[in-house]
């Protein structure tokens, strides 16, 4: 097989620089050893997130100039609405400024305290919006999804038996809707099969419970279905997406992912009563229903981006970048979550740094070592982000300590990835020198964003 090339050439460049090792050490110390507090300029390869960090195409930049900034009923809104309807066939479309705004409107209008919302895995903002109104967010990920070394094609699937049990236990009245997240971001960017979406839908339908899809990476998920479910090998990604959405009664979307845009989101539904309530809260929180917190030009850009994300060659290339890194790590013997996800590679920092106890935060040690070695910014998904306290107030480590390398869309080329591999290799060879960290300051909520660390020497 020939090399999979980037299916684009570059017409505009943005400089990146690698500041010196001494400067990186100084910058990290100034940021209290928390990479969230670094200046982006001081990061050479920034893999903090794939959210809103992608590069727009020439078509998107051209569409931006067509933006109709009329307050109501703009041409750009029409394009946005008709594109989403073409992909989803869902009746009511509401633009929002990003995904969590759609989640907020859904949770505020549909949920009551004590309600239970099952999902394969809730994303953190989804969980937070559900818990904020006093409802309970349940993760019903399949058993395969919890085994980081197991190679299986659809580790993002929901456990359908657990869903049945959940309904039997809580009753239909307590479950205003069920959710499924494609791909499963919190579960390592692992995909969900069409068979699983159908099975989840069948169970929910039997109990008259609507299905809401968290659709942030719907196009990446469609690609995995195309590759790994034989029934779909002759279908286009658009056709696969259309079938996925045919099972949904509603969906939330962050266009910062598979909208290939830097900002934006939407909330869609079929039910007229839901739509009425969404509309009223949208006007209060986001804006008039034909722009919903976005500029006309953003609506244009998203309309183009949603279709580009369904381009097969683009998805082949995107997946090739992720597997390229996975294959190199395999050769080096570096521990990572298998198989690689759709948008990221997750290093297993607990296995990478066995000399550190979980509460010495191996994820932070690895993140900081990658930064010092090569100006690479990654993020800890482990005991700092997900750590809890027991009844006596003692800190309990998270089940896993991972470091996520998320890939912005269409931003980095193969040489950037080769450089990244060299940096990981360097860090791997010197891993026994990486220190643990302790926390010297932490806020009450979402501590990972702003807490301060001190390396333990
Ligand atoms: C990013 C994301 C969201 C939230 O979207 P924002 O645009 O960041 O508010 C929700 N669910 C999933 C699965 C996501 O990846």
The CATH number of the domain holding residue 268 is: 3.40.640.10
Residues 330 and 296 reside in one and the same domain: no
Residue 250 lies in a domain: yes
Same domain, 326 and 229: no
Distances from the Cα of 318 to the Cα of 287, 311, 338, 377, 442, angstroms = 34, 11, 17, 20, 37
Strands 344-348 and 379-381: unpaired
Evaluate: CB of 339 within 6 angstroms of ligand 1.
Answer: no
> To test ligand 1's pocket by mutation, which of 180, 216, 253 has the most ligand atoms within 8 angstroms of CB?
216
Report the SS3 class of residue 253: strand
Q: Is residue 8 part of a domain?
A: no
Kindly state the tokens that stand for 127: 């969980």
d(CA 341, CA 168): 32
Ligand 1 close to Cβ of residue 100 (< 6 A): yes
Statement to judge: residues 149 and 295 lie in one domain: yes
**Full-model pTM:** 0.95
In a domain, 349, yes or no: yes
d(CA 349, CA 364): 9
In whole angstroms, what is the distance from residue 47 CA to residue 40 CA? 11
CA distances to 348, 361, 387, 393, 400 from 396, in Å: 18, 12, 6, 9, 12
Ligand 1 contacts CB of residue 401 (under 6 A): no
Q: Do 36 and 89 fall into the same domain?
A: no
Which residues does 268 contact at the CB level (< 8 Å), separation at least 6?
Answer: 84, 88, 90, 91, 92, 93, 94, 250, 251, 253
| Predicted pLDDT of residue 383 | 92
Pocket of ligand 1 contains residue 126 by CB under 6 Å:
yes
Question: What range does the domain containing 404 cover?
Answer: 21-50+311-455
Question: What is the best residue among 121, 185, 217 to mutate for testing ligand 1's pocket, by most ligand atoms within 8 Å of CB?
Answer: 185
Q: What is the pLDDT of residue 285?
A: 94
> Is any ligand 1 atom within 6 A of the Cβ of residue 51?
yes
Any ligand 1 atom below 6 A from CB of 57: no
Residue 454 CA to ligand 1 centre (angstroms):
30
Q: Are residues 165 and 275 in the same domain?
A: yes
Residue 7 lies inside a defined structural domain of this protein: no
Domain-embedded: residue 140: yes
Indicate if 150 and 286 belong to the same structural domain: yes
Q: How is residue 401 annotated by DSSP?
A: -
Q: What is the CATH number of the domain that holds 331?
A: 3.90.1150.10
How far away, in angstroms, is 231 Cα from ligand 1 center?
29
326 and 443 assigned to the same domain: yes
Of 273, 308, 343, which residue constitutes the final position of a domain? Answer: 308
Instruction: Ligand 1, residue 264: give the atom nearest the CA.
Output: 7
Among 274, 308, 342, identify where a domain stops. 308
Q: For atom 6 of ligand 1, which residue has the closest CA?
A: 99
Q: How far does residue 100's CA lie from ligand 1's centre (Å)?
A: 6
Query: What is the per-residue pLDDT for 366?
Result: 98
What atom in ligand 1 is closest to the CA of residue 255?
Answer: 7
Distance 422 CA to ligand 1 centre (A): 31
Describe the crossing of helices 75-88 and 237-246 by its angle, rounded to 10 degrees: 80
Q: Which residues 6+ apart lie within 8 Å of 201 measured at CB?
A: 211, 247
For residue 193, tell me if it sits in a domain.
yes
CA of 331 to the centre of ligand 1 (A): 33
Ligand 1 atom closest to Cα of 52?
A: 7
Residues of the chain under the 50 pLDDT cut: none
Residue 126 Cα to ligand 1 middle (Å): 8
- In angstroms, what is the span from residue 343 Cα to ligand 1's centroid? 13
**Ligand 1 site, residue 181, Cβ cutoff 6 A:** yes
In a domain, 10, yes or no: no
Burial class of residue 151 (count of CB atoms within 10 Å of its CB; 0-12, 13-18, 19+): exposed
Residues 170 and 248 in one domain: yes
User: Given ligand 1 and candidates 254, 259, 409, which is best to mutate, with the most ligand atoms within 8 Å of its CB?
Assistant: 254
* Residue 131 CA to its chain's centroid (Å): 19
- Same domain for 364 and 414, yes or no, is yes
| Domain contains 6 | no
Single out the residue in 291, 308, 325 at which a domain terminates: 308
Cα distances (Å, whole numbers) of residue 387 to 119, 174, 351, 354, 359: 21, 28, 18, 19, 9
The count of domains in the chain is: 2
Give the Cβ contact number of residue 284 at 10 Å: 10
Q: Are residues 155 and 245 in the same domain?
A: yes
Residue 323: predicted pLDDT: 95
266/360 same-domain check: no
Residues 366 and 435 in one domain: yes
């Amino acid at each position: 097989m020939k090399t999979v090339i980037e299916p684009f050439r570059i017409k505009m460049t943005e400089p990146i620089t690698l500041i010196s090792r001494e400067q990186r050490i100084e910058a990290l110390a100034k940021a209290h050893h928390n990479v969230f507090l670094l200046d982006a300029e001081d990061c050479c390869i920034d893999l903090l997130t794939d959210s809103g960090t992608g590069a727009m195409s020439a078509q998107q930049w051209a569409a931006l100039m067509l933006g109709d900034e009329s307050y109501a009923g703009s041409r750009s809104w029409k394009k946005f609405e008709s594109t989403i309807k073409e992909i989803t066939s869902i009746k009511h479309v509401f633009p929002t400024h990003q995904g969590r705004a759609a989640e907020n409107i859904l949770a505020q209008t549909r949920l009551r305290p004590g309600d239970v919302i099952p999902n394969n895995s809730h994303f953190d903002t989804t969980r937070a919006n559900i818990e904020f109104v006093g409802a309970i967010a349940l993760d019903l990920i399949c058993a395969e999804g919890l085994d980081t070394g197991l190679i299986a094609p659809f580790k993002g699937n929901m456990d359908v038996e657990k869903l049945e049990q959940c309904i039997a236990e809580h009753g239909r009245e307590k479950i205003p809707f069920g959710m499924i997240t494609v791909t499963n971001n919190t579960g390592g960017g692992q995909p969900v099969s069409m068979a699983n979406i159908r099975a989840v839908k069948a169970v929910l339908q039997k109990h008259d419970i609507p299905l809401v899809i968290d659709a942030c990476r719907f196009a990446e998920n469609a690609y995995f279905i195309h590759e790994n479910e034989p029934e779909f090998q002759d279908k286009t990604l658009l056709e696969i997406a259309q079938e996925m959405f045919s099972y949904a009664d509603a969906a939330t979307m962050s266009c910062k992912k598979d909208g290939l845009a830097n900002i934006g989101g939407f909330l869609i539904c079929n039910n007229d009563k839901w739509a009425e309530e969404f509309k009223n809260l949208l006007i209060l929180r986001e804006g008039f229903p034909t722009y919903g917190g976005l500029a006309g030009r953003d609506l244009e850009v998203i309309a183009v981006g949603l279709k580009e994300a369904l381009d097969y060659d683009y998805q082949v290339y995107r997946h090739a970048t992720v597997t390229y890194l996975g294959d190199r790590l395999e050769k080096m013997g570096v521990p990572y979550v298998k198989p690689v996800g759709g948008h990221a590679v997750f290093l297993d920092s607990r296995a990478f740094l066995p000399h550190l106890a979980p509460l010495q935060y191996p994820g932070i040690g690895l993140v900081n070592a990658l930064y010092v070695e090569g100006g690479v910014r990654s993020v800890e998904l482990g005991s700092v982000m997900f750590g809890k306290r027991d009844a006596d107030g003692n800190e309990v480590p998270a089940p896993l300590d991972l470091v996520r390398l998320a890939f912005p869309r269409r931003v980095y080329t193969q040489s950037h990835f080769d450089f990244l591999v060299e940096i990981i290799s360097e860090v791997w060879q010197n891993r026994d020198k990486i220190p643990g960290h302790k926390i010297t300051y932490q806020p009450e909520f979402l501590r990972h964003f702003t807490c301060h660390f001190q390396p333990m020497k």
